[in-house]
Amino acid sequence: MEVKALQQMLSQFRQAQEKLEKRIGEISVEATAGGGMVAVRMNGQKNLTEVRIDPDIFKSKDQEMLQELMIAAVNDAARRVDEELSKQVTELAGIPGMAGMKIPGLF
């Protein structure tokens, strides 16, 4: 392979990487648990950006239930981020079947 062709491929890869990083920054997913009693929002870096808890949960004073609902909502949000990242990578790459791939350090 010629050096010029390799440089062009690297340039295209960098552009795709930049587009993916931009799209990751735009990702925002929401997940709920307990019929909406707990809702969380997570960004593409899997950081929680919002947590909403129905005040009725506090009336029952059931700490264990709240903990379980939080875990369920956060895990669901993380799964949704993974799905969205996979979708974005597939769209960028245009490679069928890539959606199921796990890229180390990405998801």
Alpha helix (H) residue ranges in the chain: 3-26, 56-60, 63-93
Query: 5: which 2 tokens?
Result: 């062709």
pLDDT of residue 103: 54
Give the pLDDT mean for 54-66.
87
Which band of pLDDT confidence, cut at 50, 70 and 90, is reported for residue 1?
A: low
Exposure of 18 in the CB half-sphere (CA atoms within 13 A): 6
Residue ranges of domains in the chain, CATH in brackets: 28-107 (3.30.1310.10)
Instruction: For residue 15, give every residue at least 6 positions away whose Cβ sits within 8 Å of its Cβ, in sequence order, or none.
Output: none
Q: Has residue 99 got a pLDDT over 50?
A: no
pLDDT in tens, 2-35: 888 888 888 877 877 777 777 777 888 899 999 9
pTM of the model: 0.68
Query: 101: which 2 tokens?
Result: 């791939």
Decide: 52 and 16 in contact? Cβ < 8 Å.
Answer: no
DSSP 8-state symbol, 45:
T
